[in-house]
């Protein structure tokens, strides 16, 4: 099907990851030729196995902390472990992939004179003192804490993107991704949605950190990818940063109760201490996305959870 990216060769770094694999799939549907690059630190071959037979799809094993020499018409930079379990397992590598990876991909985009989109994160806001979080908010981040490798790595990547934009007139796009969930999430990534679903399907106790009153907003993956595509296809003067996420806010306890209800599980809730620097609240202000991209999420929590539960149920039973 021809679409916004028809006939263009698009590089997706982190393309075998949760978000990257969905992005590769959608780009192919849009008629693009897709080069998927991943070092498989958190990405998985199973996520892209169904795409390998497509003549417009190519998978390359590569670590973006090293330069990449390819010819493409656009770059989506999604390479980086995104869950605390994974990014804290090797914090130095996490900072390297955010910073060195950004430098290498920006250098490639500069050489090719092609647009590049950075998958940034709501973690740039840290544990916010402003709620909900608009793009002009500078954040409240602990620069030496256990989450800093990811938070500050992504903040530095944004700095680099805007410096390349100002210094080299590079066509950049920066999207700040809020909590996203859906099929192909890593079952052991330690994130609340995957944790709760796996525990509920096994009728195991569901682990809540703290009192469960901390809040999050959960965006279904299909909505998130549509936001990324709209941002990349937007006019050159639209650089971002733009928040992409679902503004409906739920406490962690409410999420756990919803998962138990939808699974029909016998799981009970147990409480554990809250991790250091864990944000108390997180909700995007998506005014810019609505106005500039004409984007807002269409899939609400119950519908998205049912699709995600189905995926994990099949995964656990195979």
The three state secondary structure string of 67-88 is: CCCCCCCEEEECCCCCCHHHHC
Q: Which of 125, 150, 164, 220 is catalytic?
A: 150
E-strand ranges in the chain read 9-13, 33-38, 57-61, 74-77, 116-121, 172-177, 180-181, 206-209, 215-217, 219-220, 242-244, 249-251, 269-272
Provide the β-strand partners of residue 180: 219
Catalytic status, residue 150: yes
Is the CB of residue 55 less than 8 Å from the CB of residue 32?
no
CA-closest candidate to residue 106, choices 135, 63, 77: 77
Determine if the peptide bond prior to 59 is cis (ω within 30°). no
Q: Which residues are catalytic?
A: 150
């Amino acid at each position: 099907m021809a679409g916004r990216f028809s006939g263009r060769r698009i590089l997706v770094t982190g393309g075998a990851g949760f978000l990257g694999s969905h992005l590769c799939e959608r780009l192919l549907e849009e008629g693009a030729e897709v080069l998927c690059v991943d070092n498989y630190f958190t990405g998985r071959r199973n996520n892209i196995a169904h795409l390998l037979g497509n003549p417009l799809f190519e998978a390359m094993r590569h670590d973006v902390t090293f330069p990449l020499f390819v010819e493409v018409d656009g770059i989506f930079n999604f390479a980086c472990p995104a869950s605390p379990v994974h990014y804290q397992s090797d914090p130095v590598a996490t900072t390297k992939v955010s910073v060195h990876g950004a430098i290498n991909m920006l250098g490639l985009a500069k050489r090719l004179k092609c647009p590049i989109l950075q998958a940034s994160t709501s973690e740039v806001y840290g544990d916010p003192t402003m709620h909900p979080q608009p793009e002009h908010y500078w954040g409240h981040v602990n620069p030496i804490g256990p989450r800093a490798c990811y938070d500050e790595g992504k903040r530095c990547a944004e700095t680099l993107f805007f410096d390349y934009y100002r210094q080299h007139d590079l066509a950049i796009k920066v999207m700040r991704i809020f909590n996203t969930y859906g099929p192909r999430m890593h079952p052991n990534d330690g994130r609340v949605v995957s944790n709760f679903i796996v525990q509920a399907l096994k009728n195991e106790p569901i682990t809540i950190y703290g009192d469960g009153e901390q809040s999050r907003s959960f965006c279904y993956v299909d909505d998130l990818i549509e936001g990324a595509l709209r941002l990349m296809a937007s006019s050159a003067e639209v650089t971002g940063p733009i928040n992409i996420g679902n503004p409906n806010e739920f406490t962690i306890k409410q999420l756990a109760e919803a998962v138990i209800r939808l699974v029909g599980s016998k799981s009970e809730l147990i409480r554990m201490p809250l991790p250091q620097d864990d944000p108390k609240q997180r909700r995007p202000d998506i005014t810019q996305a609505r106005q500039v991209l004409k984007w807002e999420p269409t899939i609400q929590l119950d519908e998205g959870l049912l699709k995600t539960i189905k995926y994990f149920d099949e995964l656990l039973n195979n």
